[in-house]
Amino acid sequence: MLVSIMLLRTLIIAPYEVPSGSMIPTLQVGDFVLATKFSYGYSRFSLPFSPNLFGGRIWGSEPHRGDIAVFRYTHDTSIDYVKRIVGLPGDHIQMTDGKLYLNGIEVPRTDMGHYEVIDENGRLLSGERYREDLPGSGGRSTVSHEILKLDDEGFANNTPEYVVPEGYFFAMGDDRDDSADSRFQGDGPDDLGFVPMQNLVGRTPIVAFSIDLKHPWWQVWYWPVEIRWGRILHLLH
């Protein structure tokens, strides 16, 4: 039984918790997503404890623009990140006045109105919600998804143009002003940089379970009101 569970988690599908608000509104703090391990092939990070048995990927396939992916953090591969892939090898990525540019063309977005949300630190954030239409890749159609914007100021909203190197991808959070992602290219603890393809763990197509845990986990009598019933088996875009 244990061997079967290990094989399932290694080769097919595995759950991952969303600990931060960097992917709000697509993902919420307390979501548990399922990652399909076979989507991008297998690397050493697909294995328990990530033994350094081989490099690169076996049966590897390139991710698609717009995919929500689980991958290992570039500065500490014991840490899992969940972000959206917005750039592939050869893509030119830039943020100007808070707008995303892909290969020199502004990515279309539609204003969907005002929003307020509580982040993982209990702060009330207020800004605008947009539907962004990210050009697909590999023959796939446009990926429409929601993003949040607080403002258009600062470095994260006005970056240099990045060219994604071969063998890497560019990841961003949907909460554009509260995400440590590939826009940050230094050596600091919040600087993700370009992500090697071999760091990919899997694609996340669905939320399996979600809970807004405001009380200690062992106080199970609060679970019925803290479970986000509407997000169970929620499909992601």
The stretch 17-39 carries a mean pLDDT of: 92
Contact 165, 194 (CB under 8 A): yes
Identify the pLDDT of residue 11. Answer: 62
* pLDDT higher than threshold 80 for residue 120: no
Residues 142 and 135 sit within 8 Å (Cβ to Cβ): yes
Domain range list for the chain: 2-235
What pLDDT was estimated at residue 189? 83
pLDDT in tens, 129-139: 999 999 999 88
DSSP H or E stretch at residue 2: helix 2-7
CATH number of 2-235: 2.10.109.10
What per-residue confidence (pLDDT) applies to 225? 92
Query: Which is catalytic among the residues 43, 46, 83, 99?
Result: 83
Is 179 considered catalytic here?
no
CA distance 185 to 183: 6
Average pLDDT over residues 164-190: 94
Q: Which of 20, 22, 43, 182 is catalytic?
A: 22
Q: In the prediction, which pLDDT does 30 show? A: 92
pLDDT greater than 70 at residue 230 = yes
Whole-angstrom distance between the N-terminal and C-terminal Cα of the chain? 33
Chain segment 67-108, per-residue pLDDT in tens: 999 999 999 999 999 999 999 999 999 999 999 999 999 999
214 catalytic residue (yes or no): no
pLDDT at 213: 82
Distance of alpha carbon 59 from alpha carbon 45, whole angstroms: 14
pTM for the model stands at: 0.91
Mean pLDDT of all residues belonging to the chain: 90
Helices marked H in 73-160 — which ranges? Answer: none
pLDDT band of residue 12 (cuts 50, 70, 90) is confident
CA distance readout (Å), 179 to 6, 39, 100, 172, 173: 32, 25, 14, 7, 5
pLDDT one-digit tens code per residue, 33-76 = 999 988 898 887 877 767 676 677 777 788 999 999 999 999 99
